[in-house]
Amino acid sequence: MLKRDLHQAEPIPEEARATIDALLASGDLFRYHAPQNAPVTLLEQEFAVMLGAKYALAVASCSAALFLSLKALDLPRDAKVLIPAFTFAAVPSAVVHANCTPVLVEVGDNYRIDMTDFEAKLTTDIEAVLISHMRGHTSDMDQIKGLCDARGIPLIEDAAHSLGTTWNGQNIGTIGKVGCFSFQSYKLLNGGEGGILITDDDDIIARCVIMSGAYESNWQKHGLDCNTFAKYQNELPLYNTRLSNLSAAVIQPQLQHVTRRIRDGLRNHDLMAEQLNASPHLSVPSPLVPESRAPDSIQFNLVGFSDDEAHALMRETKDRGVAVSIFGLHNGNARAFWNWKFLGDTPDLPQTKAMLMRACDVRLPASLTEDQVNAVADVILSSVRQIKRSKAA
Ligand SMILES: *Cc1c(COP(=O)(O)O)cnc(C)c1O
């Protein structure tokens, strides 16, 4: 029985207290209260430098960042946007929220976009591509970027769970026109809630800043060296999806822990992957060659399992303190596309469906010790052995 709660967060760094105390004393929780250098603005500046982007805008969630990015592209109503069929329900939701229509692309059993289906679905009526790097797994960004550029259509990256991941040494989130990240508690930086978008584009940042709720001339308080703001003032709707100074004060001191969290998360993941891959019944897909990962969870496929055996594995591991979830078998899972009923008729995506029916998901926080990782692996491996042995008997 594993004693550790795999959803337990790391404590917020002690350094956050001084800023939080000052905010409590002053009551300056609104980012536009101070004329400059609000905690939200400082977080944006530091984040942009860390990722190597020109501009950053912190907002209420990654979903809000995705929504604003799509709105900033000024697409026509009902524009078709390609997204992978393996992602979190909030991603097609952001597309719908922006009055666009998501078109789902098949994802292979390595959790990455099937490029043959991508090319086939990138028809002339597609107006934008939104790549969701689900669970931090990176699809072939060279091909995707190349195809989008050739067609002259914008690429947005949902990097909610990909902070610290690189592709050919380049930060994920900086390949597309906009990159969006999450500060929800299960991501690398924990603000409880929150998100941030990065871009180098002068028009996109101005449009996003204003639509995020920079009413009147509040865009001046962002301290951005960019002269596109004035032309959009009062021209765009205000969706008021800003971040509070209190959240920024919780997130900002975690930035200096990013490198360690990436290192430890990858160490834990690879230690676990090696053990799981030694079983003939389990398979952990390899990353693509240009990809360097920053995982805080592990995904693996069951090999030669019936539905009953797969359900038995979920029950057995849960009883032993490790909640293995199988995306497609876990009732009502928000990452199974057939549960996105708000989209209307369920599209036919046999490849993604087959993957979801056997793909397991286990959280593996960077703060786990090597012994704890081994204990998690042991729960999974011994449960698999037991299920496969009882079948043989
Ligand atoms: C968490 C997550 C989101 C949503 O992020 P929020 O900040 O909760 O809106 C979107 N996409 C992916 C891949 C995620 O992991």
In this prediction, the residues of the chain whose per-residue pLDDT falls under 50 are none
Cα 333 to middle of ligand 1, angstroms: 14
The amino acid that residue 55 corresponds to is Y
Distance, CA of 309 to CA of 302 (rounded, Å): 10
Picking from 4, 2, 1, the residue whose alpha carbon sits closest to that of residue 368 is 4
Architecture of the domain whose range is 16-255:
3-Layer(aba) Sandwich (3.40)
Cα 63 to middle of ligand 1, angstroms: 6
Residue-level pLDDT at 69: 98
Provide the 3-class DSSP secondary structure of residue 258. helix
- What residue segments make up the domains of the chain, in order of their start? 16-255, 257-392
Task: Determine if ligand 1 sits within 6 Å of the CB of residue 305.
Answer: no
Task: Determine if ligand 1 sits within 6 Å of the CB of residue 87.
Answer: yes
Distance, CA of 130 to CA of 33 (rounded, Å): 34
Distance, CA of 317 to CA of 324 (rounded, Å): 6
CA-nearest residue for atom 5, ligand 1, is 62
Distance of CA 140 to the CA centre of its chain: 17
CA-nearest residue for atom 13, ligand 1, is 134
Residue-level pLDDT at 353: 98
Distance, CA of 215 to CA of 240 (rounded, Å): 9
Residue-level pLDDT at 391: 64
Residue-level pLDDT at 393: 53
Task: Determine if ligand 1 sits within 6 Å of the CB of residue 19.
Answer: no
Task: Determine if ligand 1 sits within 6 Å of the CB of residue 148.
Answer: no
CA-nearest residue for atom 2, ligand 1, is 160
CA-nearest residue for atom 1, ligand 1, is 160
Cα 391 to middle of ligand 1, angstroms: 38
Q: How far is CA 391 from CA 282, 312, 384, 385, in A?
A: 16, 11, 11, 10
Distance, CA of 179 to CA of 69 (rounded, Å): 9
Q: Where are the alpha helices (DSSP H) in the chain?
A: 16-26, 39-51, 62-72, 90-97, 115-121, 141-151, 202-213, 229-232, 245-251, 258-277, 307-319, 350-358, 370-392
DSSP string, 152-200: T--EEEE-TT-TT-EETTEETTSSSSEEEEE-STTSSS--SSBEEEEES
Q: pLDDT digits over 326-372, tens only?
A: 999 988 999 999 999 999 999 999 999 999 999 999 999 999 999 99
135 touches 325 (CB < 8 A): no
For residue 107, the cross-strand partners are 113
- Give the other-Cβ count within 10 Å of 350's Cβ: 8
Cα 182 to middle of ligand 1, angstroms: 6
Cα 279 to middle of ligand 1, angstroms: 31
Task: Determine if ligand 1 sits within 6 Å of the CB of residue 88.
Answer: yes
CA-nearest residue for atom 6, ligand 1, is 62
Cα 189 to middle of ligand 1, angstroms: 12
CA-nearest residue for atom 10, ligand 1, is 160
Task: Determine if ligand 1 sits within 6 Å of the CB of residue 67.
Answer: no
Cα atoms found within 13 Å of the Cα of residue 223, Cβ hemisphere only: 16
Task: Determine if ligand 1 sits within 6 Å of the CB of residue 91.
Answer: yes
Give the mutation target among 67, 113, 161, 193 for probing the ligand 1 site: most ligand atoms within 8 A of CB.
Answer: 161
Give the mutation target among 7, 86, 138, 184 for probing the ligand 1 site: most ligand atoms within 8 A of CB.
Answer: 184
Provide the CATH topology of domain 257-392.
Aspartate Aminotransferase, domain 1 (3.90.1150)
Cα 4 to middle of ligand 1, angstroms: 24
Cα 180 to middle of ligand 1, angstroms: 9
Distance, CA of 213 to CA of 329 (rounded, Å): 40
Residue-level pLDDT at 152: 97
Cα 134 to middle of ligand 1, angstroms: 9
CA-nearest residue for atom 12, ligand 1, is 160
Cα 161 to middle of ligand 1, angstroms: 7
Cα 385 to middle of ligand 1, angstroms: 34
- Looking from the CA of residue 65, the nearest atom of ligand 1 is 9
- Give the other-Cβ count within 10 Å of 2's Cβ: 15
Provide the 3-class DSSP secondary structure of residue 336. coil
